[in-house]
Amino acid sequence: MSAKSPFDEMRAADGSIRPHYQAHAEWLKSQQPDFLQQKQREANALYTRLGITFAVYGDESGDERSIPFDIIPRIIRPAAWKIISDGACQRVRALNAFLKDVYNDQEIVKAGIMPASQFTGNPAYRAEMKGVQLPGDVYVHIAGVDIVKTDEGQFYVLEDNLRTPSGVSYVLENRKMMMRLFPDLFSRMPVAPVDHFADDLLENLRAVAPPQASQPTVVVMTPGAHNSAYFEHAFLAQQMGVELVEGQDMFVANDIVYLRTTEGPQRVDVIYRRIDDDFLDPLAFRPDSALGVPGLFSAYRAGNVNLANAIGTGVADDKSTYLYVPKMIEFYLNEKPIIENVPTYKLSDPEDLAYTLKHLPELVVKEVHGSGGYGMLVGPTSTKEQIAEFRKLIEKNPKNYIAQPTLALSTCPTFIDSEIVPRHVDLRPYVLAGREVTLVPGGLTRVALNKGSLVVNSSQGGGTKDTWVLEDQSC
C-alpha cells in the first residue's frame, strides 16, 4: 500500500470537515454520547426481527445472518455522483452493445480488438444465443457496477456484475431504516430519494416485454426459499407487486410460458430471473436442473417471453473480459471512458506473471471466475505463509488469475464500539437498462468493518451503509 494515508471522505487532510459532510457533522456533535449506541442497537434488533438475512456459503451451520448495518451514512456530492452515474451508465451501454455483438456479427473480432477465443472459450458463453433477437437489443437489464474511490474525483471500476447482481434490497431497506432512526436528519439535508427503484425496475421490465404483449405480466423467479438471497427475491416481488415464482410454477406449451394458478394457466411475458443460466431450462442446459422450466429457452428464442438478464451475459463480466471494457467503450460508443479500470495484470501473460510473482505482498490477486471475496489474496494484509500458499496456486494455473495493485480505498466515518472511526468502503450502484439506461441516486455502500481491512464482502466481515446523494448543487 502506498505510504500516503487513504482518502477520508469526511475530513480533509488538515482535519477540517468537508463541506458536504458539514450538516451531518454538526448534527452528530449535538447528540448525547450514548444516543448513537442506542440507535445502533435498535437498528440491529430491527434487522434481526424483520428477518433481513442472507445465508453464508461454506458455513456448516447453514444459519442465516443479518449483514451488519452501520448507522453513519456515506454522503456523496452531486458532482461526484455525476461522475459515478455517467460512468456506470456508459459502461452498461457499452457492455450491452458488446453482448449484442458477441452473439451476432462479432464486429469487435473483425476489428482486431479482441480475439474470438476471449468469449468462445469462456464457460459462460452460450452458443445457443447466437442470432437470438432481444427486445430493444438489451441483454443486461440490471447491472451492479462496483466502484471505488481513491482520491478527490478519482474513481475506478473494480468489476461489473451482469448476471444476477444482488444487494439492491439493502439499498432500499437501509434507507427505510435511516428514515426510521433519524427522521430529523432528512429535514436538514437534501438527500435524493431511492424508493422509486422498484417502480423503475418494473417499468424497465415491462418496456422489454415481447412486442405483442399489451399488458405484460412480469414475475420474479427464485430458485427457492433456501437460496441465500431469497429475502431479496421476495422483497423485490412484493415491492413491484408481482408474483414470486419458482420453476415448478411455470410451464411451456407451444413456446408460450404460463403460470399455474388456481384459476387456470396465466401467460407470462417477462421473467426477472434470479437463477443462473445453467438451471433455467433442463431441456436446453443442465438436464438435472429441477429448478428450471422445460421448454423455457425455446419460448425465449421464439420471442414469446423475455428474460432479465438475458442468457449468456456472463461472457461480459468475468475478470479477463473486464480488461477490454475501456476499449469497448471506445469501439461501440466512440467515447472516452468516464471511469477507468483498475490497472490489471493478466497472469496468462508471462511478463505480467513474472512481475506479479515478484510483487505479491503489494498486490491483490483474484480468480478470473471468482466472486464474493472468495479465492482472493490481499497482499498487504496477508501473512508470509498465506502469500507462499497463494504463490503455489498461481504457479499451478496462472491463467486462472489476475492481479491488481492494492488500491488505497477511500474511508468513511463508521460507528464501531461507541466510536466514530474511518473504515474502507466501496460502492455498488444498480444500473437499469430498458427503454433507456438509468440508475437511482445511491447504491449499496459496503464497508470493511475490520480496521485496515480492504475486503468489503459481507461473507468476509463487511457491512453496509446507507448512501446519500445530495441534491443541493452548492456543496
Q: Considering the rule CB under 8 A, would residue 48 count as an interface residue with another protein?
A: no
User: At a CB cut-off of 8 Å and minimum separation 6, what does 297 contact?
Assistant: 128, 280, 281, 283, 284, 285, 311
Q: Considering the rule CB under 8 A, would residue 252 count as an interface residue with another protein?
A: yes
* Three-state SS at 203: helix
Element (H, E) at 310: none
**For the chain, first and last CA: distance in Å?**
31
Task: Return the residue of 135, 136, 294, 370 that touches another protein, per CB under 8 A.
Answer: 294
Q: Considering the rule CB under 8 A, would residue 49 count as an interface residue with another protein?
A: no
Q: Considering the rule CB under 8 A, would residue 245 count as an interface residue with another protein?
A: yes
DSSP string covering 204-226: HHHHTS-TT-SS--EEEE-S-TT
Q: Considering the rule CB under 8 A, would residue 64 count as an interface residue with another protein?
A: no
Q: Which residue has the cell 445472518?
A: 65
Q: Considering the rule CB under 8 A, would residue 262 count as an interface residue with another protein?
A: yes
Distances (CA, A) of 363 to 88, 219, 349, 366, 453: 25, 43, 16, 10, 14
Q: Indicate the residue among 262 and 473 with the shorter CB distance to another protein.
A: 262
Spatial contact of 306 and 210, defined as CB atoms under 8 Å apart? yes
Q: Indicate the residue among 239 and 445 with the shorter CB distance to another protein.
A: 239
Q: Considering the rule CB under 8 A, would residue 267 count as an interface residue with another protein?
A: no
Measure CA 171 to chain center.
11
- In angstroms, give the least distance from the CB of 68 to another protein: 24
Cα atoms in the 13 Å half-sphere on the side-chain side of 33: 3
Q: Considering the rule CB under 8 A, would residue 264 count as an interface residue with another protein?
A: yes
Segment interacting with another protein (CB under 8 A) among 83-91, 286-294, 377-385, 432-440: 286-294
Task: Return the residue of 84, 147, 157, 291 that touches another protein, per CB under 8 A.
Answer: 291
Q: Considering the rule CB under 8 A, would residue 258 count as an interface residue with another protein?
A: yes
Q: Considering the rule CB under 8 A, would residue 238 count as an interface residue with another protein?
A: yes
**Which candidate, 151, 367, 336, places its Cα nearest to that of 325?**
336
Give CA–CA dist 463/459, Å, rounded: 9
Total of residues contacting another protein (CB under 8 A)? 23
Find the binding residues for another protein in span 211-230 (CB under 8 A). 225-226
Q: Considering the rule CB under 8 A, would residue 253 count as an interface residue with another protein?
A: yes
Give CA–CA dist 309/124, Å, rounded: 13
- In angstroms, give the least distance from the CB of 251 to another protein: 5
Task: Return the residue of 14, 263, 351, 417 that touches another protein, per CB under 8 A.
Answer: 263
User: At a CB cut-off of 8 Å and minimum separation 6, what does 133 contact?
Assistant: 303
- In angstroms, give the least distance from the CB of 175 to another protein: 22
- In angstroms, give the least distance from the CB of 14 to another protein: 52
- In angstroms, give the least distance from the CB of 260 to another protein: 4
Spatial contact of 165 and 430, defined as CB atoms under 8 Å apart? yes
Segment interacting with another protein (CB under 8 A) among 32-40, 110-118, 160-168, 240-248: 240-248
- In angstroms, give the least distance from the CB of 212 to another protein: 21
Segment interacting with another protein (CB under 8 A) among 8-16, 262-270, 365-373, 431-439: 262-270
Q: Considering the rule CB under 8 A, would residue 261 count as an interface residue with another protein?
A: yes
Give CA–CA dist 427/409, Å, rounded: 11
Binding residues for another protein (CB under 8 A): 225-226, 234, 238, 243, 245-246, 248-249, 251-253, 258-265, 290-291, 294
